[in-house]
Chains A and B, each alone.
Chain A
């Protein structure tokens, strides 16, 4: 039986919320597609942190598994997303998200 965490779990979750909000801001405010991607990664990470914290609190390993899956999906997403960016850059010569509001080559 695991002892309860020395640091209150709420603190972890709050930290996660703060990071999430920062990620959100990144997505909203930056125009560089790569940076937006990185912000999304940040958001995913903050969610992961919350998951791990809850897992610690409730003493189940399932949260960890969820994080594991999120990491995997994130990897997949990054692979495809970056590939998209590269492809778009080839045709548009720009990765500014504002230049991409039309589906045309």
Chain B
């Protein structure tokens, strides 16, 4: 009965969605977007307009987004902190070949992640993507070698400093140009389409990349280190 009900509900919702969406009509940018497109280069010098929108025009939202990510990681860490009902994994080293490969690949993957977040204002990519790539390198290392310990002190320091730096960049805009996270006059805007351009945008994206990378790495560390249930039997699966 419930199954049929849910199918009917879904069909109704699908019908509603299909009616809501303008199928097959190309959309033109709205008034705000047209302003960003026309003036984005003059105001920010970042070739990637999406980055300009995220880090500058809607930079305050991104600060909130970074906070949400931090809170969810902190929440996951808090939920998984208590270990009652769980025992630690017994230590089973993986193959020597795999460990060597993981350690060999770690550095290139981190460089690739750094490349992505440093070039966030020039090409597709940015702090969140680059941070995720770096976290994938850490995951590779952790999965290949469970005995590997992350430098938690360094990571916490980096993470807090990155968040602090983001807010400080915003305050600098407030002091110099009179509005939080303003990009005018804080740093020279530079030339279009070169690496050192777009004022504080690359700085903020580098900070976001470091923050996301360290946050996701600690999340993976907590999840891998959780252990398995003490009892195996019982319960429908």
Bound pair (A, B): no
